[in-house]
Amino acid sequence: MAKKIKGQNIESPLTKETEAPSSRKTSGRTLSYWVDSVKPAPFGKLDRNLKVDVVIVGAGISGLTTAYLLSREGKNVAVVEDGNIGSGESGRTTAHISNALDDRYSYITEILGMDKARMAAESHSQAIHIIEDIVQRENIDCDFERLKGYLFLHPSDNKKTLDDELNATQQLSIRTEMIEGVPGIPMETGPCLMFPDQATFNPIKYLDGLAAAIVRNEGKIFTNTRASKIDDSGILSENGFSIKADFIVVATNSPVNDKFAIHTKQAPYRTYVIAGLIKKGTLPHALWWDTGDQNSIWTNDPYHYVRLQNYNDEYELLIAGGEDHKTGQPNEEGLQEEDRYNNLIKWTYERFPVESIEYKWSGQVMEPVDAMAFIGKNPMDSDNVFIATGDSGNGMTHGTIAGILITDLIIGRHNPWEELYDPSRKTMKTAGDFIKENLNVAKQFKEYLTPGDVDSVKDLGPGQGAIIRSGLTKAAVYKDDEGKLFAYSAVCPHLKCILEWNGEEKTFDCPCHGSRFTCFGKVVNGPAPHDLEEIGITENGQSGSYDI
């Protein structure tokens, strides 16, 4: 039976069950089209001790591209992944493969200067070529397609933004053209900036193809294997096996081996996605982006992005995303997660002839303070430990750049992008944003003093979670569908911020650096190094036991 999304009285039946079955759960309850479209590739758990040249933690686009390119250089590689291939944020992207950076070249040129902005443009353009080359070389059936992208004005914005971007891109030798009207969106009558040479694919099919190629190159992949300890000698898995390696690469969206250095220089954001049915051939295949604010914690002008995906003989999926907010801080302007979906559905229905919504999911974006990913040697660590993080909303190209750059660093080959992406860099012109983000983190500690979401666990229905006061601190509580209560300390194991309940993904999310935990306390996003501590509480949140 058709279901309704609660919220703003929008008729938006979800014609499909969007909750992931437990075998396919990724970093939340919702199911992306990509994960639903492919059976998990059959890899096993780590079941022995190994010694390799390079061990890579994380089987998303950064980790697998690195493993693949190193395996082509003859390196003996092993990949460990705590879920399945692409089951982290790479399976929750919308896979815009683009050199039209979300942060805009006009801004990047202003803060980094012309030379570095040119390098950013070159590296993202080259990443698109490398993906295309890998698809052809390895014969990966992943719906890869070259197409155009259109940047158009958000209602809050004006043409100067597009003029500035036209000017900046042309100075950096990125092909762009200003056109009147937005192809595919008749109601958007203003000008737009067209970027040729963009691309899309199905990210899980691409990653499965990369994984198969790694195995053909005699690399090893272990899934459902959490690395519980990572140091400069290799990793130790939760089930007690080790992989010793000369080089260690941590490609886990947010680096789980870094406690401070990187987490003060990037901020986690949630982004929302819906996929609806649209009659085949209605629209040209393209990418569309508006000029809204990607970090709408600071403004209320949220950004939107759209693409198409082949679906069946009659329909395509129109995949629209946006409405971003800082992770664990959904309450700006009183908006909850479900309101974000409803706003996105409303925005999409106003612009596109979508017949019904088939999927909805959310993902995590790491926003570096200066718009460039952090790829290279892990700060304050041994020289043989590398990280890749800070996708900045361009995860497909940043992940591919990570593979190219880390491969060169390990092989000992000069790469001109090294300084641009160096995780130890400081960008003086973004000091104000750095301070603003870190003041926002400091503000989160007020949550130790505020009341909980509910006064008593009795207020929770089946399948609901909340944060409840527990003496001087707080507890994260969840009632399962049978009414059984699960209680954990709501203090994040990373740097002790108080978690927030995310009712759409059924996760406890940290508002400081983006760690996330399932409703059963299991960590699904770093930097938290381990699961939540289980506690006993009474009905009103005090220490003790609650009798169900």
Contact 245, 356 (CB under 8 A): no
Closest approach of ligand FES to the CB of residue 396, in Å: 25
Q: Point out which span in 49-57, 65-73, 138-146, 489-497 binds ligand FES (CB under 6 A).
A: 489-497
Least spacing, CB of residue 388 vs ligand FES, in Å: 18
Query: C-beta of 515: minimal distance to ligand FES in Å?
Result: 4
Token pair belonging to 83 = 């879920």
CA 93 vs CA 173, 202, 273, 315, 537: distances in Å: 27, 10, 9, 21, 38
- Choice between 104 and 263, CB closer to ligand FES: 263
Q: CB-wise, 35 or 497, nearer to ligand FES?
A: 497
Beta partners for 361? 273
Check if the beta carbon of residue 504 is closer than 8 Å to that of residue 335.
no
Rounded least distance, CB 119 to ligand FES, Å: 31
Instruction: Quote the least distance from Cβ 493 to ligand FES, whole Å.
Output: 7
> Are the C-beta atoms of 458 and 540 separated by less than 8 Å?
no
Pairing of strands 50-57, 242-250: parallel
In the bound state with ligand FES, the residue whose beta carbon lies nearer, of 131 and 510, is: 510
Q: Which residues does residue 245 pair with via DSSP β-bridges, in sequence order?
A: 52
Q: Is 510 helix (H, G, I), strand (E, B) or coil?
A: coil
Q: Mask 281-320, x = binds ligand FES (CB under 6 A)? A: ----------------------------------------
Shortest distance (Å) from residue 165 CB to ligand FES? 34
Minimum Å gap between C-beta 302 and ligand FES is 24
**Residues 352/278, Cβ–Cβ less than 8 Å:** yes
Using CB under 6 A as the binding rule, whether residue 354 contacts ligand FES is answered as no
Distance CA 147, CA 154 (A): 22
Q: Is 492 in the site for ligand FES (CB under 6 A)?
A: yes
497 binds ligand FES (CB under 6 A): yes
* Options 79-87, 157-165, 494-502, 533-541: segment touching ligand FES (CB under 6 A): 494-502
Beta carbons within 10 angstroms of residue 330's beta carbon: 24
At 366, list the tokens.
């790491």
**In whole angstroms, what is the distance from residue 45 CA to residue 81 CA?**
9
Judged by CB under 6 A, the chain residues 501 through 530 that form the site for ligand FES are 510, 512-515, 527-528
Element (H, E) at 64: helix 61-72
Binding mask 1-30 for ligand FES (x = CB under 6 A): ------------------------------
Residues that bind ligand FES (CB under 6 A): 492, 494-497, 510, 512-515, 527-528
